[in-house]
Amino acid sequence: MSRMGDVLAGFHAAWEFESDSVLIRFERGIRTPKLFQALGERRIPHEAISAVTLSSGKRGTVVLHAVPRPGADPLMEAAAGQLKENCDPYRLVLPAERETLAEYYADELRAQLPPDDGESPDRFLVAPPEAPLQFKAYDGKASFDGKLVSFRWFWTGASSAKWKAGDQSFPVTDLSGIEWRSPEVFEGHLRLLRRETPVAQPAQADQDPAAVVFGLGYGPVHESLPFAASVLAAVRASGPAPNSDGLGAVAAAVTPAVRRDPADIAERIRHLGELHRAGLLTDDEFTVKKTELLAEL
């Protein structure tokens, strides 16, 4: 049995092993992923971990991985598998010469995990990032105070549909979950899923007043994902969502695409051009997406 308070330090983080949990403290150095810096530290109860693995990493490293139990952590539920490996807060990367020590701690941690019954917990076991939170998306500013999510539109980026709808506020009690699409994947967004809507939400996030869209420098992972996780945790704490599994991160209901305002198309093409010039889109990707947008006119 490892002594309570033992610490295993790796690149970008240190894990402190306690009697009922692992306390992960992330470094704030310039080389540390921004998501880790934003999280600061996280306490992961043993019951939130389903398995522990140790494997070879890149360039003379080993990776200790505490596999989170599905439904236990609002951050990982919101991420929905979209995080890059180097931004996974459950991976501790160590120099290869510490493999024996890492193997010892992996075995000790495995021995303390409760039996995994394969079922999702009925509540989140890991604390969400603290509210209040806010970040700038491409088409508006998103704010959350723990009870109310607010979107304030930017005239430079918001679609005419959002301008017509006006600034939006959503009590968490009116929401069933969230849909987060990483800005590191093409056309990221944060969409709020409502318990009851008079009509189905638009398929396109830039047309949905319950969504903000991301872009070059807008809605980065280290800002938008903790925000999404905090909202998701508040939604789940407010009562069970009407979907079958009780989790918040469910797919949005969509309707067939509608013809867009030409001004919106022009704005999206301008944004594509920015991504292309910044080297984030290849010539082919830019051409294909531009053709798709023009076909919607």
Alpha-carbon distance of 82 to 66, in angstroms, equals 17
Alpha-carbon distance of 252 to 288, in angstroms, equals 25
The whole-number pLDDT of residue 254 equals 33
Whether the predicted pLDDT of 158 surpasses 80: yes
| Dihedral sign from CA coordinates of 74, 72, 21, 103 | negative
Residue keyed to tokens 């076909």 = 295
Whether the predicted pLDDT of 1 surpasses 60: no
The whole-number pLDDT of residue 199 equals 65
Same fold, 6-112 and 133-237: yes
**63-72, 76-85, 144-153, 189-198 — which is least confidently predicted?**
189-198
SS (H, E, C) 88-114: CCCEEEEEHHHHHHHHHHHHHHHHHCC
Whether the predicted pLDDT of 246 surpasses 70: no
Please state which CATH class domain 6-112 belongs to: mainly beta
- Closest C-alpha among 85, 39, 91, 99 to residue 67: 91
Please state which CATH class domain 133-237 belongs to: mainly beta
129 or 251, higher pLDDT: 129
**CB of 173 closer than 8 Å to CB of 213:** no
Whether the predicted pLDDT of 70 surpasses 90: yes
Alpha-carbon distance of 204 to 91, in angstroms, equals 34
The whole-number pLDDT of residue 197 equals 67
- Closest C-alpha among 263, 136, 124, 264 to residue 208: 264
Q: What are phi and psi of 80, to 5 degrees?
A: 50, 45
Alpha-carbon distance of 27 to 48, in angstroms, equals 23
- Closest C-alpha among 188, 144, 135, 141 to residue 170: 144
Whether the predicted pLDDT of 216 surpasses 70: yes
- Domain extents in the chain: 6-112, 133-237, 262-295
Neighbours of 71 (CB within 10 A): 22
The whole-number pLDDT of residue 281 equals 67
Task: Quote the tokens at residue 51.
Answer: 């398995």
**CB of 151 closer than 8 Å to CB of 209:** yes
**126-135, 159-168, 217-226, 241-250 — which is least confidently predicted?**
241-250
